Amino acid sequence: MNYNSQNDHKAVKIQVRLQLTSFFSGAATMILELTGSRMVAPFFGTSLIVWTALIGIIMTSLCIGNWLGGSLADKRPEGKLLGRILLFAAVIIALTAFLSNYILTTLQALALNLYLSSVFAAVLIFAPASILLGMVSPFVARLAMQDVNSSGAVVGRLSALNSAGSILGTFMGGFVLISLFPSGVIMMFLACLIALMAVLIYTGAWRKIIAVIIALALGGAGWHTLQNGLPFSPKGVQIDTAYNHLSIEEKYDTRNNRHVRVLVTDPDSLQSLMYLDNPSELVSDYTKFYELAFHYKPDAKKILMLGGGGYCVPRYILENRPGVSVDVVEIDPGITQAARDYFFLKDDPNLRIFHEDARTFLNRAKRDGLDQYDAILMDVFNSWTAIPFQMTTVETGAHLREILKPDGVLITNIISSVYGPKAGVFQGIYKAFSNSFTTLMFFPATAPDPKYARALQNLILVAMGDTVSTVSPTPDAKFAGLLSHQWLEPFTPDPSVPTFTDAFAPVERYALAHNH
């Protein structure tokens, strides 16, 4: 092989290594972003606010990194410098993963509003690593540039590879890694991968050896994290599913002197609660209002529950209402598995479970003409920061009405207030559902007194069509207490609140008002 061919072969190897670096840096960035959401979730949830903060800060950090990386590459276009940047990024990611729970616990203790907490969390945990990863692309482009006449092709090829890596990182992170490994473990092994990228860049043997040693150390730290977890981990059982981060804890109810198991998917609220000494008993006050289905439809036999959670309500109905069947639509199979493992959910011939989005189920039910239900119980709003807008609209109300029997009843839980700045979500849904249901009434679960109309609480909306079942004028004692919560004052929704539709349902605007 002559001198020129040797140089050509060496140049090709360098180009391939740079292209691989561009590809893997794109993948690492997206895995970092997706994993970041799961690290923050146990402390601040996965609401639109948190996602906005994470994406905004990471994108800002990448911009800063692009700027710094391009300037530095022009001054010192050296592969060994890029290798140092990669090793530094790897170490920073490992350190932030190790310290993340401590940082987030400290921020949570400060009790700042969700906006500031989310931004500070993103800055402290993800900004340093994102800036360093942002420096990689322009640095790689500068090192790969050999001829100004081919600069467009080189930059285009590297950009395409970086984007391809981002695509791989998105699908790998969202579909595979997060479902298989804890967030801290993913971050540690991500640090190991980035250190191995430095091995690709370095040409000197001793630098390669150092990079390999660092990569092995980070891989070992990842294995240790897999076995023992990270320090300052949140209390209780922590489970990452395809859709949520679940925290399962046991608390002591001092009011009743009983132990309660709690399922949390959003730290601002408790999604499911169960007494350990009597799992079939309902704990949350608002869940008891679903019993009104059997007041307004005494002969109800076929129930649809949208939103499973810990399956407390379906389990209660099945154990206390012989002959009643319940279909549950729960988007997250991981939540169902958690209910089986920790909330005594058992197979039952009268229980069917559909793992799909509630709106998708309604669309399919309408399309396929599924059997109608006697009652529909809806509990799909995890908290005021996690409201699936597609379940709040005129179109949703129409679908619900179509799969209800003529004298069927819909009962839905809404976290809102009756009037005031925190009432927009409830009033928008009320307006939307009034397009399909002629009879609407609601029950403030916590404080039915009109003087608390501006208080944030569980509002239980009951909706029925033109045909109403015969209801006893003297209800059973078990219903009397619930019925006493009915709002009997005149109610007029604020005209400034729009009727929610699929095209426009600004639930975030009104939900975020809760945080002020």
What are the sequence ranges of the domains in the chain? Answer: 3-228, 280-515
Give the burial string for 415-426 (b: 16+ CB within 10 Å, else e).
bbbbbeebbbbb
Least confident of 32-46, 145-159, 357-371: 145-159
Mean pLDDT, the chain, rounded, equals 89
CB atoms within 10 A of CB 330: 25
Q: Are residues 411 and 439 in contact, defined by beta-carbon separation less than 8 angstroms?
A: no
For the chain, the first-to-last Cα distance in angstroms comes to 73
Write down the pLDDT at residue 268: 67
- Residue 513 pLDDT > 70, yes or no? no
Percent of the residues in the chain that have a pLDDT greater than 70, as a whole number = 94
Angstrom distance (rounded) from CA 264 to CA 462: 26
What are φ and ψ of residue 120, in 5° steps?
Answer: -60, -40
* Residue 125 · residue 100 · CB < 8 Å: yes
Sequence-distant (≥ 6) Cβ neighbours of residue 218 within 8 angstroms: 90, 91, 94, 188, 189, 191, 192, 195
Q: Which has the minimum average pLDDT: 258-272, 358-372, 467-481?
A: 467-481
Quick one: pLDDT band at residue 473, thresholds 50, 70, 90?
low
CB distance 394 to 501 below 8 Å = yes
Helix (H) / strand (E) element for 383: namely none
Q: Which helix (H) or strand (E) holds 197?
A: helix 183-201
C-alpha separations of 70 from 149, 165, 254, 363 in Å? 19, 20, 60, 50
Cα(355)–Cα(357) distance, rounded to whole angstroms? 7
Backbone angles phi, psi at 467, to 5 degrees: -95, 125
pLDDT in tens, 433-469: 999 999 999 999 988 888 999 998 999 999 998 777 6
Instruction: Output the pLDDT for position 3.
Output: 47
Is it the case that residue 393 has pLDDT exceeding 90?
A: yes
Q: Is the pLDDT of residue 23 over 70?
A: yes
Q: What local confidence, expressed as pLDDT, does residue 510 receive?
A: 80
Q: How many CB atoms lie within 10 A of CB 81?
A: 17
pLDDT for res 474: 65
- Looking up tokens 């690593």 gives 129
- Mean pLDDT within 69-97: 93
DSSP character at residue 445: S
For domain 3-228, is the CATH number 1.20.1250?
yes
DSSP 456: -
Residue 475 · residue 295 · CB < 8 Å? yes
Q: Lowest-pLDDT range, 52-61, 227-236, 476-485?
A: 227-236
On the question of pLDDT at 183 being above 60, the answer is: yes
Residues 272 and 281: their CA atoms lie apart, in Å, by 12
9, pLDDT greater than 90: no
pLDDT at 512: 67
Residue 384: the pLDDT is: 60
CA distances from 514 to 182, 205, 253, 254, 388 (A): 31, 59, 26, 28, 16
Q: Does the structure show a pLDDT above 80 at 2? A: no
Check whether 69 has a pLDDT greater than 90. yes
> CA–CA separation, 404 vs 503, rounded Å?
24
Q: CA neighbours within 13 Å on the CB side: how many for 267?
A: 21
Please tell me the predicted confidence (pLDDT) of residue 10: 67
Q: What does residue 381 show for φ and ψ, rounded to 5 degrees?
A: -100, 100
Question: 163: closest CA among 57, 16, 30?
Answer: 30
Amino acid code (one letter) for 364:
R
pLDDT at 220 over 80: yes
| 269: DSSP letter | B
For 99-147, the pLDDT digits (tens) are 999 999 899 888 888 889 999 999 999 999 999 999 999 999 999 887 7
pLDDT surpassing 80 at residue 343: yes
Query: What's the confidence (pLDDT) of residue 1?
Result: 47
The answer for residues whose C-beta is within 8 angstroms of residue 314's C-beta and 6 or more apart is: 305, 308, 326, 328, 351
CATH code matching the domain that covers 280-515, chosen among 3.40.50.150, 3.40.50.2300, 2.40.50.140, 3.90.1150.10: 3.40.50.150
